[in-house]
Chain A
Amino acid sequence: SAVISQKPSRDICQRGTSLTIQCQVDSQVTMMFWYRQQPGQSLTLIATANQGSEATYESGFVIDKFPISRPNLTFSTLTVSNMSPEDSSIYLCSAGSGTEYGSYTFGSGTRLTVV
């Protein structure tokens, strides 16, 4: 399975600002994903990052708030825009293929606090 490096690991940001999170995979992967985990909650899929085309967003998430880039098969970024305290969460990227040899793995997460 792929090994994923994610940064920053944590940040404290002022409301109204934006933060870009980076995710680097050690091998080429077709599928990359971004998840949000609100305090004490499970993981919720934000979007699928598609290489060479616009990301596919899940219900309740929009591109203006969470723009995503996927310039190649090993790298993706998620930006949390115009942040409010409600955006305080752990954000995780994931990659994989849903098969035994490519089962989904996760980056170490970005713990975001908005003040």
Chain B
Amino acid sequence: GIQVEQSPPDLILQEGANSTLRCNFSDSVNNLQWFHQNPWGQLINLFYIPSGTKQNGRLSATTVATERYSLLYISSSQTTDSGVYFCAVERWNTDKLIFGTGTRLQVFP
């Protein structure tokens, strides 16, 4: 099956810092989403981004489908950004979302 690896596995930041999270996947995909899982376990859909670049406030994401990776940028981080960030991909004609290994982010004041 498809492999979805995220890096770094853990990230500790001070409030106000910027960060880049990476997602590598081993096969062609027709869907890629980034999620934030808050400390209460809820998964929040951040971006639907099978290709190209999108921005939403302090967050932006870029997917280079031909090179099989995606990046999530967090600028001016806040303590509320803490949690686990997952990318998830869907291979063509599978109708299944497969999750990456996750990046655990801790932002301290």
Please measure, in the bound complex, the distance between the C-alpha atom of A108 and the C-alpha atom of B44, giving whole angstroms.
9
A30 to chain B, nearest CB (A): 9
Residues of A within 8 Å of B45, CB to CB, are: 1, 103-106
B87 to chain A, nearest CB (A): 10
Residues of B within 8 Å of A92, CB to CB, are: 43
Interface residues of A in 70-115 (CB under 8 A from B): 90, 92, 94, 96, 98-100, 103-106, 108-109, 111
B83 at the interface (CB under 8 A from A): no
Asked whether A108 lies within 8 Å of B97 as measured between CB atoms, the reply is no
Please tell me the number of chain B residues within 8 Å of chain A, measured between CB atoms.
20
Residues of B within 8 Å of A37, CB to CB, are: 41
B7 at the interface (CB under 8 A from A): no
B100 to chain A, nearest CB (A): 7
A45 with B41, Cβ < 8 A, contacts A98-B90, A100-B48, A103-B48 known: no
List 4 tightest A-B contacts by C-beta distance, closest first: A103-B48, A106-B43, A43-B99, A98-B31
Beyond A45-B97, A98-B30, A98-B31: 8 further Cβ-contacts under 8 Å?
Answer: A1-B45, A42-B102, A96-B97, A98-B90, A98-B95, A98-B97, A104-B45, A105-B45
**Interface on A for B, CB 8 Å cutoff?**
1, 31, 33, 35, 37, 42-45, 48, 90, 92, 94, 96, 98-100, 103-106, 108-109, 111
**Interface on B for A, CB 8 Å cutoff?**
30-31, 33, 35, 41-43, 45, 48, 86, 88, 90, 95-102
